[in-house]
Chains A and B, each alone.
Chain A
Amino acid sequence: MHRPNGRGREARPPRTHASSAPVAGALAAFALLATAANAQVSELSLDGELALQLAPGDAATAELLGPPTTFAAMALDVDPGPVPFLGQSLPLGVTPALTLFAFNGTDASGLATWPLVAPSSSSFVGSVFYFAGLVADVTEPSGLRLSNGVSLEIVDRPPLLAADLAGRRLGGDPSFSAVDVVQQNDRIYVALDAMKYPFAAGKEADVYVVAAKDAAEWATDPSLVDVTSDGPNTFTFTFDVLSQNVLAVEPSASPGANGDQMASAFDVVVDLDRDGMLGDGDVIDGKGDEVGLWITAVTGNPGPYAVTELLYDGGSTWLKEDIYYPSNVAALGQLPLVVVSHGNGHNYQWYDHVGQHLASWGFVVVSHSNNTQPGPQSAATSTLQNVDHFLGNLATIAGGALNGHVDTHRIGLLGHSRGGEGVVIAYHRLFTGAYQPTNFTRSDVRIVSSIAPTYFEVSSPSPDVIHDVPYHVWVGGADADVTGCGSTFVAQPMAHYGWAEGERSLIQVQGAGHGAFHDGGGSTVSAGPCLLSRAQVHRIMKPHLLALFGYYLRDEAAGRDFLVREFSDLRPLGTPSTSCAVVHVAHTDGPDPSDLVIDDFQSASALTIASSGATVAWSVDDLSEGVLIDNSNFTDNGTQAFNSFTHGSSTGPPQGAIFSFGTASSQTYRYELPLADKDATKYRHLAFMLAQSSRHPLTVALDAKIEFEVRVEDWSGNSRTLPIGSYGDGIGEAYARSGCGTGTGWAAEFESFTIRIEDFARDTSLVDLTDLRYVEFLFGSDHGSAQGRVAIDQVELTRK
């Protein structure tokens, strides 16, 4: 049991945050007492605090420090006084209610204690009691020395409360932010904002990390069983800034994987009454059926199952398959299916790293021969026919071992290059009905992922696009085939991303070549500095594959964090440690009426109006909105606003804004929310995407990540500014590759950033999140980097 917050800590005065009248009265009284206490030299405290709140029936300990082994006494009253007494100031009102406690004595260390129990009747709720101590002291003329005063407020015992307790330490303000996912062996940080939960202030509590229970399980068994290596941690939450209320939990005994699931589920409980049971007055992260915290395994390592791989010939050139599944599939029920469609000049037997890894974690993987040479339309035909054939022949494939063990309603498509465009076209055909599958339906395809996809469809007047299904793209910065160079749309792997109407994600791996994503040997088909080997790229791919397909095909909530959070924040275990492994991820949730998309730049073309109707104001330079495309090479000629951006096509929808900064020390880009959208407490995150413009003189001169700040302000003018550097490492630079015109720096890479809404209201912040007016991005030397050019997109308040 840790006691990191013991008696020796300096007790601090409470802040005027508490809102109830009795509390306010107690605080006012406390202020007087604290002033009076300055003249005293004996110290009185209640559970180490000068002001304490207890629920009816709760216990505390009064501690009086004075000379050793001498007489001690304590009294309470309902009035804080002070009144003169024995030539000193007594911090009590000396009303008829004055009550003297049993006489006591200090021990050899000078400490005298009295156990206190708050009255059990709820009729006392709101009452405030004041305490003062007295010790014998021969140095005083009266022979007695008075203590400071302390207060005790009886508060209503709250019901079991839900709060985001588990999180991570930040590198700066606000020092802590709640998260849903940590990785195995990561230290878990638990924080309770005692200003938000004042009843917890000053109370010693036990902090548990327990195996998650749903509501029914908690009702049946409310006992708390800590799973960490050293048992529950004891901590005293103080009426103080959040950074003083963060407890580090050593997680060494907490498991990661849960069978073939990538994460284990936990709840985090602050047991305020220390009875070892979850109940009223406690605080839980993971209330009801929610999960408080996921701890993920080393997701880059193989999963728990041995893998069987076999080659299957469906009797046609393009119905040949390399199949991977858990060897004990007979005992595993129905497993999701991942279908791999290779690229041109590639081979369906070149994806062992995908098949072996996912099958070891409980997926069935089918990598099929793919008719890519004619083009992606033919590849799409191969994909669809293979899915249908495989699902229709489970009774015979692998001797029937998979029959009844493939979940035909949970299918993921993963294509590479022309195969990557092929899977997009395949879904388009399902969407339009151009292909009528026999053994599955469109809705069975839950996720489509393209590795370095081509974009031949750009030449079509009505291109086949990905529509509403969740879509994911892998981009290799060093790709020497589908290069990403702006001079030809066919070679722009991010173009499909812009068409996606549902959830969409990007992972951009600098230094990864086109051939590094398969395991066929030979060249990695790469160009640029700091190249990654095929093995290194695979070590980045494996955990990301598991997160991607775990999230979309098995509803593994932990997977989402790996798609959303900065790589520098949540770098999957098992990925290579080389500094060349620079990865940027971006994620946008699909249309969700419960989210507020402040600006996706798809409508309201006026610079002053966001797509949500929010008003836009700015002091940044050279602001433009438009399609995120570069119609030529990456040479910066000063005329293309979106030079180096390749997220759309001339006919595609994706748009964003871009601006420069560097002419002043503080330059802003600000949204004023519509009044109807002022309540931000409905949301968990402020999310947005940013990217550095490549080869622009300002970013070239900066040659570093861009740091900036985010500020919110309410309608009363209260504001809070948070530096993005607290959460991660800023806006990354584009890959330092030359070619595709003159200069250095490859295609711009968007990154997602998310900030918990509640972080803006931490500690001394007076921001009223129910009354939010501005969301503002601050650039310049006052806020981080002195100069740069930045594109922004998808500014949202999200509930996820």
Chain B
Amino acid sequence: MKRISIAIVSVAAVAAVAAAAQALAPRTAPPALAEQDVRVVAVVPFTLEAPAVHTFRAEAPTYASGDLVVLESNGATLVPTDLPCRVPMRGAEVLQQVNRGSSGVVVCVAPACDDASGDFRLGPYFLSAPMTPEQVDRAYAANELANARARGQVRLTESDLTSLSAAPVVLPDENELYKLAADLIEAYVPDEQDTVRGLRGY
């Protein structure tokens, strides 16, 4: 029964994001983004029945909820390299970038970690200075946020968030979360089929 319910919420989520994808697709010539700017395209709130570890921060906190977010950047900035590279952030939290992003669009896990505080869902969303997430602690992340604010990065409004958000989903664990991320990648970044296959395991 559990698996069936997961499937249902996944379908619902994908339907929601697919609609968002359609909203993204017709848009032409989006305004150029600065190197560390990102635009939020879609948000899928989630809850995990089994908490997961957020390995993208030195404290390795756990999380049981958060959002899958679809971000758009100026393009190449999001492509991960093996050296320290810019990483998507939301507020004072490092996001888990799931796909390569060579098209300029990435799907990220934005965890609501158990050591987080404040209304972080509104952002701001931005790209950090080049870093190695597992070496980044809360203080460093807070400093990145301060720098972002100093650059003029702004939070979403409540209405923005509402309009971008799909219906919340409940998932059993991180594995299913990443499979849902694969669905989003397939919808938003169709040229990353190898990433999709990798996440799905087939």
Contact = CB atoms under 8 A, between A and B. Distances in A.
Interface of A: 311-313, 315-317, 320, 343-345, 347-350, 369, 371-375, 377-378, 381, 417-418, 452, 454, 456, 459, 481-482, 488, 490-491, 514, 520-522
B134 A377 contact: yes
Interface of B: 55-56, 79-84, 87, 96-97, 100, 102, 132-135, 173-175, 177-178, 194-195, 197-199, 201-202
Given A374-B134, A454-B83, 4 more contacts: A313-B202, A344-B82, A374-B55, A374-B133
9 contacts: A311-B197, A316-B175, A349-B197, A373-B80, A373-B97, A374-B132, A374-B133, A374-B134, A490-B83
A481 B82 CA distance: 6
A347 B83 contact: no
Among B79, B80, B199, the most chain A Cβ lie within 10 Å of the Cβ of B80
Nearest to A343: B82
Contacts of B199: 317, 320
B148 to A, nearest CB: 20
B82 A345 contact: yes
A344 B175 CA distance: 19
Nearest to A455: B83
B19 to A, nearest CB: 26
A311 B134 CA distance: 28
Among A344, A381, A520, the most chain B Cβ lie within 10 Å of the Cβ of A344
A377 B177 CA distance: 22
A454 B178 CA distance: 26
A373 B194 contact: no
A375 B137 CA distance: 13
Contacts of B132: 374-375, 456
Q: Which 8 A-B pairs have the closest CB atoms?
A: A313-B201, A345-B80, A417-B82, A375-B134, A374-B134, A375-B132, A374-B133, A317-B178
A345 B100 contact: yes
B194 A350 contact: yes
A315 B175 contact: yes
A343 B80 CA distance: 10
A316 B133 contact: no
A343 B81 CA distance: 9
A18 B142 CA distance: 84
Among A343, A347, A374, A520, the most chain B Cβ lie within 10 Å of the Cβ of A374
A344 B174 contact: no
A311 B200 CA distance: 10
A8 B119 CA distance: 100
A490 B198 contact: no
Nearest to B197: A349
A514 B175 contact: no
Nearest to A320: B201
B134 A317 contact: no
B81 A345 contact: yes
Given A374-B56, A374-B134, A316 B84 contact: no
Nearest to B57: A374
A680 B173 CA distance: 65
A317 B174 contact: yes
A514 B97 contact: no
Given A317-B175, A369-B198, A375-B132, A345 B79 contact: yes
A311 B96 CA distance: 24
B55 A378 contact: yes
Nearest to A313: B201
A580 B198 CA distance: 34
A339 B195 CA distance: 20
A349 B194 contact: yes
A347 B55 contact: no
Given A312-B201, A374-B132, A514-B82, A347 B195 contact: yes
B81 A481 contact: yes
Contacts of B202: 311, 313
Nearest to A456: B132
A315 B194 CA distance: 19
Nearest to B200: A313
Contacts of B195: 347
Contacts of B201: 311-313, 320
Nearest to A373: B97
Nearest to A483: B83
A481 B83 contact: yes
A748 to B, nearest CB: 21
A460 to B, nearest CB: 9
A146 B55 CA distance: 98
B135 A375 contact: yes
A371 B82 CA distance: 12
A488 B202 CA distance: 38
Contacts of B194: 347, 349-350, 520-521
Nearest to B79: A345
A371 B178 CA distance: 12
A351 to B, nearest CB: 12
Contacts of A345: 79-82, 100
A527 to B, nearest CB: 13
A782 B110 CA distance: 68
Contact of B83 (A311, A381, A482, A520): A482
A371 B198 contact: no
A454 B55 CA distance: 19
B183 to A, nearest CB: 14
A88 B202 CA distance: 97
A374 B80 CA distance: 11
Nearest to A491: B83
Contacts of A371: 55
A344 B56 contact: no
Nearest to A460: B135
Among B87, B102, B201, B202, the most chain A Cβ lie within 10 Å of the Cβ of B201
Among A312, A313, A417, A521, the most chain B Cβ lie within 10 Å of the Cβ of A313
Contacts of B102: 522
A343 B135 CA distance: 17
A333 B97 CA distance: 42
Among A372, A375, A452, the most chain B Cβ lie within 10 Å of the Cβ of A375
Nearest to B201: A313
B79 A373 contact: no
Among A320, A343, A373, A482, the most chain B Cβ lie within 10 Å of the Cβ of A373
Contacts of B81: 344-345, 481
Contacts of B197: 311, 349
Contacts of A313: 201-202
Contacts of B97: 373
Nearest to A459: B135
Contacts of B87: 373
A482 B194 CA distance: 23
A312 B97 CA distance: 23
A430 B159 CA distance: 51
A282 B141 CA distance: 77
Contacts of B177: 317
A421 to B, nearest CB: 9
A311 B82 CA distance: 25
Contacts of B175: 315-317
Contacts of A491: 83
Nearest to A377: B134
Nearest to B179: A317
B133 A373 contact: yes
B73 to A, nearest CB: 15
A381 B100 CA distance: 21
B26 to A, nearest CB: 27
A490 B134 CA distance: 15
